[in-house]
Structures are given as C-alpha cells and as structure tokens.
Amino acid sequence: MSNNATRHGQTEIVTTHEVHHDEHHVHHHKETFITKYIFSQDHKTIGKQFLITGIIWAVIGGLFSVLFRLQLGFPDTKFPILETVFGHYAAGGEIKPEFYYALITMHGTVLVFFVLTAGLSGTFANLLIPLQVGARDMASPFLNMLSYWFFFLASVVMISSLFVQTGPASGGWTMYPPLSALGQVNNGSKLGTDLWIVSMALFVVSSLLGGLNYIATILNMRTKGMSMTRLPLTIWALFFTAVLGVLSFPVLLSGLILLLFDRNLGTSFYLSDIVANGQILPNEGGNAILYQHLFWFLGHPEVYIILLPAMGMVSEILSVNSRKPIFGYMAMVGSLFAICILAFLVWAHHMFVTGLNPFLGSIFVLLSLLIAVPSSIKVFNWLTTLWRGNIRFTPATLFAIGFVSLFISGGLTGIFLANSTIDIHLHDTKFVVAHFHIVMGVASFFGMFAGVYHWFPKMFGRYMNSTLGYFHFWVTMIGAYLIFWPMHYEGLAGVPRRYLNLAPWHNFNKFGELNKMITIVSIIVFAVQLMFIFNFFYSIWKGRKVRHQNPWGANTLEWTTPIRPGHGNWTGEIPEVHRWAYDYGKDGREFIPQTEPIGKDESKHH
C-alpha cells in the first residue's frame, strides 16, 4: 500500500485560531510500565486492551465451536485427542452431551458479550471517539479504565467457571429458567450458572461505565466546530450503541438477579408447578416466561449493540476507500436512530411460540418488520456510495464490502423469522442459527476486521501484512457462505437447534454429508483466523512502518495526530473543525480534511 497516490490531495493545514480552552497541551507526566500499559487511563491503550482481551476470547469461543462442530460433522468418529485434553468430558474421544451443551452455551456467551460487545465496541469506541471528535481523552479516563478492569474481572470469573467440578453453565446462552434455575435438572445449572451470573453482572457494570463515558464524551467533548452533524458516522453509530447498552443492560441485570434469587434464596419469580427429577418443588405462582421478556429486552438491543459499530465503521471505510462521500449522511444517521428506537420495541419476536397472546404477537410482527425499512435505506446508501467511486481494495475495504453482502443475506432471512406465521415453522431451527450467525455474527466480525485493518496504523504505527489480509478475507468470506448458506436448508427441513446427533430422527437424519462439509470448512476458517491473529501480533512489532501521517488520505481528525500519538493525542492545540467528514472528490480535490476551512470558491456544502 503506497501513500504516494493519496498524498497529492492533502494540503498543509495551519490552524491559527486561539479559541481553545484546553490548556494542557501534552501530557508530560511520568509513566511507568504499569501506568502506561496495565492500569492505563489513555483511551487508546484501553481500546487495545479491549481488543487483545477480545481476541483471546474469540480464540476460546471459536475453538469451542470447532469442538462442537466436530461432534456435529462426525458424530460417530472418535477423537482420542479430545479425551487427552478434556478428560471425562470427552471420555473415549466422544464429546458427551453435557460437554456439548456447555460448549454451545459458552460459545454463545463468549462471542456475543465478550467478543462482539466488549471486543468490538469496547475497542473502537475507546480508540475512535476521542480521536474523531477531537478530545484529548474520554470524559472520565478513570471510569474508562475501570470499565476495562470490570470486563477483565468478568472474564476471570467466566474462565474460572470452566474449571468447576460440575462444569460451566450449560443452559444455552439465553439461560432460560427453570433449566438454568435448578441444579437437579442440569449439572451446568449448579455452581457454573452462579458464576455465569456473577460474571455477567460484572460485565454489565463494565458496559455501563463504558457506555456512560462514551455518551458523555460525544455530547460534551467535541472540538470547536464539530457539530453533531459533522460527526463521522462511526461516532454516530458508537453513540447509539452506547445509548442502547445503557438503557437495556440494566434490565438484563435485574432479570439475572431474580434468577439468582430463585436459585439460591427460594423465591419463585420464574418457578411454578415443577416436578424436577421426581422431586416436587414448593414453588408456585412464578412465570418462566417473565425471564424471557427481561432477557430479550436486552437480548434484542444487544444484536444492534453488536451490529451498529460495524455499520458505522463500514460506512466510514467504504467512503474513504471509494474516495466518495457517504451517500445520504442524514439518512444514515436517521436510520441508525430509527434502528435504535425500534430495537427496544421488538423483543417479543423471539417469543412467538411461548404461548404469547397472538394479538401481542401481531404487534411485534409489525414492529419487527419495520426495522427492514431503515436497514434497506442503509444498504441502498452503501451501494450508492460505491457507485461511480474510485475504489481502492484495501483489506479493510474488502471486509466492508463483505459486511454489506452478509448484511443483505442475513437481513433478508430475518424477514422470514420476524413474520410470526413463518416463525412457527422455523423457530429454534437451524434456519435461526444460520440467520443470526450471518447477520450478527459474521457480519459484525467483518466490520471488526475492517476496523482493525483500517485503524491498525493508528493503533500501532505500522501496517498489517496486506497479502495475508487478502487471504484472510477471501477464505473467511467464502467459508462463511459455505458454512451458513446450506444451513438454511436444514432449518427449512425443521432440524432443531442444539441437537448434537440427528441419528435418532427419521425426518432429520439426512444431512450427514452437509454437516461434514460444514465442519471441515469451519476448521479451515478457524485456522485462517489464527493466521490473522498471528499477522496482528507480528505486525505490532515487525510490520511495515507507517511513514505518512494520513496513510489512507482520510478526512477525519484521527489522522491529524502524530503517527504514534501520546496520551493527549495532539501535540499542539486540538484542531478546529470546519466541515463534515466526507468531502471526498469535491471540486476536483481528492479529499479535504475536516480541519480545512471552507474555501471562498468552494461549491456549496452538502
């Protein structure tokens, strides 16, 4: 990747204004190893901490999926190595059902919360918010540091739950009671589930501390001239993500606390009329479905907490690399806002077959399908952004394009599931698995990869190896479709989720070959992710050095900082902003940074 092509468009900007109230220009305080890398209050370091912790979790969560894919693809084969590693959980080289359910539960929990929430928005909100709004750090660097360390604690507790004697939580990542409430019906619902709840509580604290900080920073700490409508779309997306998190995570926490009470204090919030394993329980009057309402009140916004940051980064990256403004900036912000509101009003579409009042169900059909409107606005706007551009295919661009492709595919299958009539048939089948993995799992990962490749030079002052980047993209893209596209057919045939062996089933036991293929592809894709991680760490120390302040020729403020910015980001004053972030290709200029004042002869602003 050379910088020559992009350099000519840049003009040296001298900011001569004297209006900054920000007195502390550079932080010269002494930093020890501990304050610089461990208990750091620098948002950039905290972002990297989130990213690296997220990567570790992604390897663990991904490895779990490879293990249970082995079971699904090769139900009759024995893998003695599994017994060597996992002992009685895989006695005889076969994955035991108990272990299988622990694996899927942890896979879901880890990837949804620890990787795609903390690892994704934790990383990029921390890295990008101060840099792109023009602030020296977050509103409260200390709370920000706490946010990471609460996440770290949550991680420690979750990891420890893997090693307790009765095994980790194994009631599915949604942790529905009574299964999750009663130790006598499920081994994983013993100590493992208590640890799961404690870990999630710590996680909620982390996410609230982070979220409040992101909101405060975006609202209060924008540099001079940075009106809300001049914010890059990344920041808008991260803003709405934080709002979603702050309003919905507490509801999850309350639901989990009630579950904790039911488990340990003999309350009956979710329990009623239960004969567990021959034992008649005294609990009466509770309602198991109540938990599902509380859970999905977070659970649905959660998928947007995962998706919105990816959308924001993809918007930014597509615009920078097609050398064109993002099409329909206000529509993009508006659709983010609409998604954010609707995210709170659709939770019961996960519950169409729980015995929900059909009238209530119909309201949720309407509201759920409504989300397709802002989503399609976004897709068409991305397409128009590419149209008549001059596109540079960096690995980040490819992942952004891949994101759009996956978002379309997975979004469209959502239209099936949001319609309660079809959901009766498809509910809790492999169709659902395929749908949400494509639209929220893989697509968000693609947004995350795009972000890592794009902002790696800002994070570490070096480039990642782009040949490996291309290889990573193509294998992952092809692999993702090979894994999840045919899985829809299994779902249409009614194959339920969370079945570890289809052999007992006359109507389902016909996908042996398909499941084998999916398993092999997922192993390959997992191996290539390890290669990405290798590339990541190798490039931190050995990557090609960044020699140009603005390697992608981008307009946003992070590229006005030094190549390796210190704590405080800008050495001099914080730059002033004079325009929106998307003046690419305007008046024959390749790009016009946000810091450049509007010229006299410049054509009218957007």
Smallest separation, CB 301 to another protein (Å): 21
**Considering beta carbons, is residue 50 or 295 the nearer one to another protein?**
295
Buried b (16+ CB within 10 A) or exposed e, 282-311: ebeebebbebbbbbbbbbbbbbbbbbbbbb
What ranges in 322-371 are assigned the alpha helix state H? 329-343, 358-370
Instruction: Provide the token pair at 467.
Output: 């040949």
CB of 12 to another protein, least distance (A): 22
Query: How many angstroms separate the Cα of 410 from the Cα of each of 204, 217, 439, 603?
Result: 28, 33, 4, 40
Cβ contact 107:526 at 8 Å:
no
DSSP 8-state class, residue 584: B
At residue 112's C-alpha, the angle toward residues 204 and 40, to 5°, is 55
Token couple for 303? 């998928």
Please identify, using beta-carbon distances, which residue of 187 and 560 lies nearer to another protein.
Answer: 187
**Minimum distance from CB of 467 to another protein (Å)?**
4
* Cis peptide leading into residue 178 (ω within 30°): yes
At residue 279, what are phi and psi to the nearest 5 degrees? Answer: -105, 125
Closest approach of another protein to the CB of residue 29, in Å:
38
Question: Which residue lies nearer to another protein by CB, 264 or 467?
Answer: 467
Contact 484, 443 (CB under 8 A): no
Task: Pull the structure tokens for residue 53.
Answer: 């912790």
CB closer to another protein out of 362 and 571: 362
CA distance 97 to 48: 37
Q: Tell the smallest beta-carbon distance from residue 170 to another protein (Å).
A: 7
Q: Which is nearer to another protein, 142 or 485 (CB)?
A: 485
- Which C-beta is closer to another protein: that of 178 or that of 312? 178
Give me the sign of the Cα torsion angle 24, 26, 30, 31: positive
Owner of token pair 């090609």:
544
Minimum distance, C-beta of residue 247 to another protein, in the bound complex (Å): 26
- Nearest CB to another protein, comparing residues 327 and 436: 327
Q: What is the distance, to the nearest Å, from the Cα of residue 65 to the centroid of all Cα atoms in its chain?
A: 17
Question: How far apart are the C-alpha atoms of 237 and 304, rounded to whole Å?
Answer: 10
Closest approach of another protein to the CB of residue 409, in Å: 7
Distance from the first to the final alpha carbon of the chain = 31
Nearer to another protein, 244 or 271 (CB): 271
Nearest to another protein of 51, 468 (CB atom): 468
- Least distance between another protein and beta carbon 260 (Å): 18
Q: How far is the CB of 324 from another protein (least distance, A)?
A: 4
